[in-house]
Every structure is written in structure tokens, then in C-alpha cells.
Amino acid sequence: MTKRLYYDSSDTHEFDSVVEDVVRPSAEQSRPAVILRETAFYPTSGGQVHDTGWLTVEGAERLRVGEVVDAEDGRIVHYLEPTAKLPPAGASVHGSIDADRRREHMQQHTGQHVLSAAFIELYQMPTVSFHMADDYCSIDLATPAVSPAQIVGAEKRANEIVFENRPVRVRYVSRAEAEKLGLRKLPPAERDELRLIEIADFDLSACGGTHVGASGQIGSIILRKSERVRQGTRVEFVCGDRAVRLARRDYTALSEAAALFSAKLWDVPEQIRKGFEDSKVLRKQKDDALDELAELMALAALHSQPETNGRKIVVRAFSDRDIGFAKLFAQKVTRAGTPTIALVASAVDPPGLIFAQTPAQTSGGAPGSATDMGALLKQVLSSVGGRGGGSRDFAQGGVPAGSNIKVERLLQQAAGTIGS
Ligand SMILES: [Zn+2]
């Protein structure tokens, strides 16, 4: 088993050791790795993410440690970059861990102890798991819901513990002793000796992670989103450096939004709400205006079009209106009362065609005189490789994107087919 220097001191960032074993790259693992006699590198475990850093082999290069893993046999495996030249077993090394990264992890991890204890103290909500991601952390609480007031309450209590700068101590006890102490969390029975982390007069739990020496070093604890998950409720939070970084990022985003509205930060939600309302009204006004325009254009087109064989044929290509308007126009033309066939197109990208006719029942026209719009559209489009279809009375389609096909020519072709 590797001796773990971080058990006794979370502040040991530099250490000397000896290479005990090396792991050469294999088919399953492309990175070489080393195992040391003792190490200050923390391996990923208990929700806390591993350290990174450097190993300097005497008389040789510095090796980057990219990942640290706790193997099942109790050895700590330091993974190096794929190109690293492995030192021989027995070589002396000097280890340096990335102190900023470690401190940030200790803030999150100790913050989690405080927060979990606060949720127990105030609301009797036990923590079932802890997760540390790149830019946030989360705990899962065994409860179906956490109210916004409880989020604020737990955050307030956790920060009180931070501000009181309570000592955080490590001690070792036997399992039998630990059972009498009433720990917040007792690990599964594996070892006889347990490592306890005590936040003075507030929390006592068994943990193998790295922690700050006093609660003030956590910095501050900010709770963010909470959501329902399978095993309860997940609460996201950030501490210390991470809290400052995220608050800075949020502030920058909110400031940009506020500048766009020429508003104060806290007025942004109201401005957005107002913007939504305004755009809803404008969209309604635009739809109404287009409907009226289509109606008037349909009436004008029908008025100027003579009736032949008991029906009118309206042919219209729009160069400046989209297919949605073409469809609206075709509907107005075919529902105005006179049996009508509308052959309509929009040249606006993507160009499209609408073929519609007044349904036989409502027009009172003889069904035999009707043309099948779906079939007509398919026939016209097949000559140019377009796609579309529809029913007997209404069909819609498009010509291939980017083609030079003139929709006017397709309308003339369709009109010619009906007319003949
Ligand atoms: Zn811990």
C-alpha cells in the first residue's frame, strides 16, 4: 500500500519519494504510470477529484502527472503523459502537486461537509452522494424536494459556520469508538481504524479526503440550482475560488444583458418579460395585417379574372413574399365563393408552389370537372426534380434548393395542363 502523506497534512505540496513500481503502456492503457513508496498526490475518491502536478526524477526530466487513481490493492497510481520516459524502479523522485488546484478542491470538499451538516441540522435531509465537476459541485439529498426557502436557509447556516472560522481537525478512532460518537456518515465496515473529520462543534464524519484547516478557508458557499433526481434532490453549489469565478462569469453575462437594455442588472428579467410581451403583440399585428393583405389581394385577383367553364383560374407568382403568404393567398382565393383553382408560387428562398382548388362540395361544382391538385403538382415537379404532394384540393411542394428553375414557368406549365 502506498503511504498517503495527505492523510496527515493537506498542506504538503512538495515531497521526496522513491519509485516502487512502473506500469508500461498496454493495449488497454496508453499512458505509462508510476507507483511511489509514499505520495502527497490525492487520487480521485469520495467525490473529490485527483491532484495533478510533476515528478522530477533525479538527473532527468520533469514528468507531468495528469491523473491519479486509487487502485483496489491500496496502491496509488500516478498516470503520466503517453510520451513520458519511465524512471527505473528504485529511482528517487521529487513530487510537486498543483497547489492552486488542490486548494480549490479542498474548499469544495470541506464546503460539502459543512453544507451536508447544515441540511441535516436544519431539515433532517441526509446527503447520499457528492459530485465534483469542473465548474460546480453537487450533493444528492435523500428528500423528494427542497424548497427555495430551504435553499436560502441552508446557504445562510453554512456560511455562518464559514464566518465563525471553526477549526477542522483530523483524528483516528476505532470502529467501535466511532459508532458511539454519532457520526453524520459512517462508512461501510472495511477497516478497524477510521479517519474522522471534525468541524468543531458542528460536524463529525468519516472521510479520507483533503480538507482545509479552518472553516474560514472555504471562502464562501453559494447554492445554485436544485433539481429532482432518481435518488432524491440534487443541489448544486460552489465554494471559495470557484464561487468567485462563477460569480464573475454570471456578473459579466448579466452586465452585457443589462447594457443591451440600458437597464440596471436587477431589472433585466422585467425587461426580457416586457420584450416577450411586445414581440407577441407585434407578431399578432403582423399576422393580422398579412391576413388582411392576402384577403384584399385575393379579392382583386378574382375580380380581374374572368370565369370560364364555371370556374376561375388564378395564377400568381410572388417574388417578394414567402411560401407562407402564398399559401394564405391560395386559401383566400379558393374560399371566396366562386369555384376557383389557385396556382401560386413564391420565388423567395426556398422557392415553393401551392396548388389549391375550391372543394367540390362547397363550390357546388360538378366533381367531374375538378382537377387533382396533388397529381398536377407531382406532374409539374417531376419534370424539374422537385418534391411535394397533397390531396385532391390542396398540394404544396418545392423546387430543388439552389436551382435556377423559374417558378413562373412551372405555373404556366400547370395552367396549360388544366386549360387543355
Ligand atoms: Zn471529506
Calculate how far, in angstroms, residue 31's C-alpha sits from the geometric centre of ligand 1. Answer: 29
112 vs 92: CA distance, rounded Å: 37
Calculate how far, in angstroms, residue 113's C-alpha sits from the geometric centre of ligand 1. Answer: 6
Among candidate residues 369, 326, 93, 181, the one with its CA nearest the CA of residue 195: 181
Calculate how far, in angstroms, residue 188's C-alpha sits from the geometric centre of ligand 1. Answer: 15
Taking CA atoms, 58 is separated from 33, 88, 332, 397, in Å, by: 17, 11, 87, 75
Calculate how far, in angstroms, residue 210's C-alpha sits from the geometric centre of ligand 1. Answer: 6
Calculate how far, in angstroms, residue 197's C-alpha sits from the geometric centre of ligand 1. Answer: 7
Cell of 87: 524512471
Ion ligand 1 neighbours, Cβ < 5 Å? 207, 209
DSSP-assigned letter for residue 11? T
54-70 pLDDT per residue, tens: 999 987 789 999 999 99
DSSP-assigned letter for residue 306? P
Calculate how far, in angstroms, residue 109's C-alpha sits from the geometric centre of ligand 1. Answer: 6
Calculate how far, in angstroms, residue 205's C-alpha sits from the geometric centre of ligand 1. Answer: 8
324-382 pLDDT per residue, tens: 999 999 999 999 888 999 999 999 888 999 999 999 765 454 444 568 999 999 999 98
Cβ atoms 124, 250 nearer than 8 A: no
Calculate how far, in angstroms, residue 204's C-alpha sits from the geometric centre of ligand 1. Answer: 10
Calculate how far, in angstroms, residue 257's C-alpha sits from the geometric centre of ligand 1. Answer: 39
Calculate how far, in angstroms, residue 41's C-alpha sits from the geometric centre of ligand 1. Answer: 16
Calculate how far, in angstroms, residue 152's C-alpha sits from the geometric centre of ligand 1. Answer: 23
DSSP-assigned letter for residue 85? P
Calculate how far, in angstroms, residue 108's C-alpha sits from the geometric centre of ligand 1. Answer: 10
Calculate how far, in angstroms, residue 49's C-alpha sits from the geometric centre of ligand 1. Answer: 12
Calculate how far, in angstroms, residue 354's C-alpha sits from the geometric centre of ligand 1. Answer: 68
Per-residue pLDDT, averaged over 143-151, amounts to 97
107-119 pLDDT per residue, tens: 999 999 999 999 9
The label of the residue with cell 404544396 reads 396
- Quick one: pLDDT at residue 231? 87
Lowest mean pLDDT among 15-24, 203-212, 410-419: 410-419
Per-residue pLDDT, averaged over 275-295, amounts to 97
Residue 141's contacts (CB-CB under 8 Å, 6 or more residues apart) are 119, 125, 126, 127, 128, 232, 233, 234, 235
Taking CA atoms, 351 is separated from 21, 80, 325, 396, 401, in Å, by: 70, 58, 12, 11, 8
Residue 20's contacts (CB-CB under 8 Å, 6 or more residues apart) are 2, 35, 36, 37, 89
Calculate how far, in angstroms, residue 122's C-alpha sits from the geometric centre of ligand 1. Answer: 20
Calculate how far, in angstroms, residue 56's C-alpha sits from the geometric centre of ligand 1. Answer: 29
Calculate how far, in angstroms, residue 112's C-alpha sits from the geometric centre of ligand 1. Answer: 8
Three-state DSSP class for residue 248: helix
162 vs 253: CA distance, rounded Å: 28
Q: For residues 187 and 241, which has the higher predicted lDDT (pLDDT)?
A: 241
Cβ atoms 54, 42 nearer than 8 A: no
Residue 266 C-beta-side C-alpha neighbours within 13 Å: 0
Mean of per-residue pLDDT scores for the chain: 92
Q: For residues 125 and 193, which has the higher predicted lDDT (pLDDT)?
A: 125
Calculate how far, in angstroms, residue 76's C-alpha sits from the geometric centre of ligand 1. Answer: 18
75-113 pLDDT per residue, tens: 999 999 988 889 999 999 999 999 999 999 999 999 999
